[in-house]
């Protein structure tokens, strides 16, 4: 199950962050997202580790914790997407698929002429699309 | 479900936008009008680059980003690639389009010049035409600048149209 997704701008400014848990652990999840930003920077500045997947937008598993797995994605425009999930056996293909759909939703949201670049994404439609994508992620990995 | 728009509509919208800014909103301030039009282009380029770079790996250097502008980005907007790319390898790039689509069907209105000044010599008319034309190039300049800025390359873009309908855009990357 996905517990948190975040969009972070190129100056590490939060553009959108949403958790999907009932429990009151938003702060903890935000903290995890925050920590992952350093890992993203590290991955991008030391590309040797990534080897053949040089400069791919999908950054893969950033770091595993006891309860969560954190995945990252960096667009050409230096916007970072972070995904925090509690599933411990996630298929890479599912995560890639998730990020692809998420990216499409993001692009549609920022292409709104009333959206101010670099400001938080407040679109309700975007929020709805994201929660649909998040829900479908659970179904995919189960089936 | 790609929605399509007739090309002539685009042409008309662009022409009308330039006309509105030059003759109505900022009639006596061509500099200000130019800056406003460029700013609109900037936003358009900013958003388009977000969309058109979706399915590709990140660029490793400036040249790659410029090549993307010349090939894929230009194809998406103008259905053709840039014809010639020159660079001095120190941050200046010249992108030449031999038949720039947005100028290809443009002509100068002869009645506009004749009425106001009677001694309208050929040179005056020509410079006026050139000025009117250059107004239409601020928008594509803004698009290029917006796209490159969004890709993390701050730059200044100017246009040169010494031999129409060929048109070249000069990109100077800020260090």
Mean pLDDT of A40-59: 71
Strand partners, A74: A80
Compute the half-sphere exposure of residue A12: CA atoms within 13 Å on the CB side of its CA: 9
B57–A78: do the CB atoms touch at under 8 Å? no
Judged by a CB distance cut-off of 8 A, whether residue A57 touches chain B is yes
Query: Residue A59 gets which letter from DSSP?
Result: E
pLDDT for B7 beyond 60: yes
DSSP string, B35-102: HHHHHHHHHHHHHHHHHHTTTSPPP-SHHHHHHHIIIIIHHHHHSS--SEEEE-SSSEEEEEETT-HH
pLDDT at B147 (0 to 100):
92
Q: Which residues contact A58 (CB under 8 A, 6 or more apart)?
A: A73, A95, A96, A99
pLDDT digits (tens, 9 = 90+) for A125-137: 989 998 888 888 8
Instruction: Please name the helix (run of DSSP H) or strand (run of DSSP E) that holds residue A5, with its range, or none.
Output: strand A2-8
pLDDT for the residue B45: 92
DSSP state of A47: G
Query: Mind telling me how many Å the CA of A45 is from chain B's nearest CA?
Result: 11
CB contact residues (below 8 A), chain A span 81-140, against chain B: 103-104, 107, 110-111, 113, 117
Residue B38 to residue B35: CA distance in whole angstroms: 5
Contact, B170 vs B159, CB < 8 A?
A: yes
Calculate the CA B142 to chain-centre distance. 7
pLDDT at B142 over 80: yes
Q: What is the mean pLDDT of residues B58-80?
A: 87
For chain B, first and last CA: distance in Å? 41
pLDDT tier at A27, thresholds 50, 70, 90: confident
The arithmetic mean of pLDDT across residues B5-24, rounded, is 87
Higher pLDDT, residue A53 or A26: A26
Q: How close, in Å, is residue B117 to chain A by CA atoms?
A: 41
The pLDDT confidence band at residue B25, using thresholds 50, 70 and 90, is confident
Chain B residues touching A56 at Cβ < 8 A: 57-58
Tally of CB atoms within 10 A around A117: 16
Per-domain boundaries in chain A: 2-142
Tell which residue, B175, B136, B132, B138, has the closest CA to residue B157: B138
| Tens of pLDDT, residues B82-133 | 888 888 888 899 988 888 888 777 766 655 544 445 555 677 777 777 777 8
Instruction: Kindly tell me if the per-residue pLDDT of A141 is higher than 70.
Output: no
Q: A97: which chain B residues are within 8 Å (Cβ-Cβ)?
A: none
Q: Which residue has the higher pLDDT, A26 or B87?
A: B87
Closest CA to A70 of A41, A95, A44: A95
Tokens describing residue A113: 């002429």
Report the C-alpha gap between A101 and A93 in whole angstroms.
12
Whether residue B144 has pLDDT greater than 90:
yes
Task: Give residue B39's Cα distance to chain centre.
Answer: 12
Domain covering B7-173 in this structure, CATH number: 3.30.1380.20
- Name the residue ranges covered by the structural domains of chain B: 7-173
User: From CA B46, how far away is CA B50, in angstroms rounded?
Assistant: 7
Q: Look at A111 and B51 and tell me if their CB atoms are within 8 Å.
A: yes
pTM score, whole prediction: 0.83
Residues 6+ apart with CB under 8 A from A118: A9, A11, A13, A15
More confident of the two residues A118 and B140: B140
Looking at every residue in chain A, the average pLDDT score rounds to 82
How many whole angstroms separate alpha carbon A117 and alpha carbon B128? 36
> What tens digit of pLDDT does each residue of A67-126 get?
888 888 888 888 889 988 887 777 888 888 888 889 999 998 988 888 888 888 888 898
pLDDT in the model for residue B119 = 53
Local structure of A55: helix, strand or coil: coil
Q: Report the range out of A31-35, A41-45, B106-110, B128-132 with the highest average pLDDT.
A: A31-35
Residue pair B94/B85 in contact by the 8 Å Cβ criterion:
yes
- Quickly count helices (H) and strands (E) in chain A: 3, 5
A134/A137 Cα distance (integer angstroms): 5
Give the list of residues 6+ apart from residue B21 with CB closer than 8 angstroms, or none. Answer: B33, B36, B37
Query: Does residue B50 belong to the interface with chain A, where contact is any CB pair within 8 Å?
Result: yes
Tell me the percentage of chain B whose pLDDT exceeds 90: 15
ipTM above 0.85, yes or no: no
**What whole-number distance in Å separates Cα of residue A39 and Cα of residue A44?**
9
Topology given in CATH for the domain delimited by A2-142: Beta-Lactamase (3.30.450)
Q: What is the pLDDT of residue A143?
A: 42
Residue B115 pLDDT: 47
């Amino acid at each position: 199950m996905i517990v948190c997704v975040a969009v972070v701008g190129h100056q590490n400014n939060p553009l959108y962050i949403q958790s999907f848990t009932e429990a009151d652990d938003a702060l903890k999840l935000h903290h995890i997202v925050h920590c992952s930003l350093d890992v993203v920077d590290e991955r991008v500045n030391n590309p040797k580790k990534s080897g053949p997947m040089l400069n791919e937008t999908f950054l893969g598993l950033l770091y595993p914790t006891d309860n969560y797995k954190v995945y990252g994605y960096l667009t050409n425009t230096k916007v970072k997407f972070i995904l925090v999930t509690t599933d411990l056996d996630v298929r890479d293909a599912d995560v890639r698929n998730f990020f692809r759909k998420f990216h499409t939703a993001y692009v549609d949201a920022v292409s709104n002429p009333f959206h101010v670049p670099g400001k938080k994404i407040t679109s309700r439609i975007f929020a709805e699309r994201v929660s649909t994508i998040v829900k479908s992620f659970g179904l995919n990995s189960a089936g | 479900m790609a929605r399509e728009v007739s090309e002539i509509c685009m042409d008309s919208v662009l022409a009308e936008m330039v006309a509105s800014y030059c003759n109505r909103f900022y009639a006596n301030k061509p500099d200000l009008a130019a800056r406003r039009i460029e700013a609109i282009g900037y936003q358009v380029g900013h958003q388009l680059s977000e969309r058109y770079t979706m399915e590709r790996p990140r660029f490793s250097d400036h040249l790659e980003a410029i090549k993307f502008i010349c090939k894929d980005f230009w194809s998406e907007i103008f259905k053709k690639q840039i014809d010639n790319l020159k660079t001095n390898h120190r941050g200046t790039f010249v992108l030449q389009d031999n038949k720039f689509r947005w100028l290809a069907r443009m002509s100068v209105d002869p009645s506009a010049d004749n009425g106001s000044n009677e001694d309208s010599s050929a040179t005056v008319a020509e410079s006026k035409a050139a000025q009117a034309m250059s107004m239409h190039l601020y928008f594509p300049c803004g698009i290029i600048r917006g796209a490159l800025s969004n890709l993390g390359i701050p730059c200044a873009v100017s246009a040169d149209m010494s031999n129409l309908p060929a048109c070249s855009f000069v990109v100077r990357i800020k260090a």
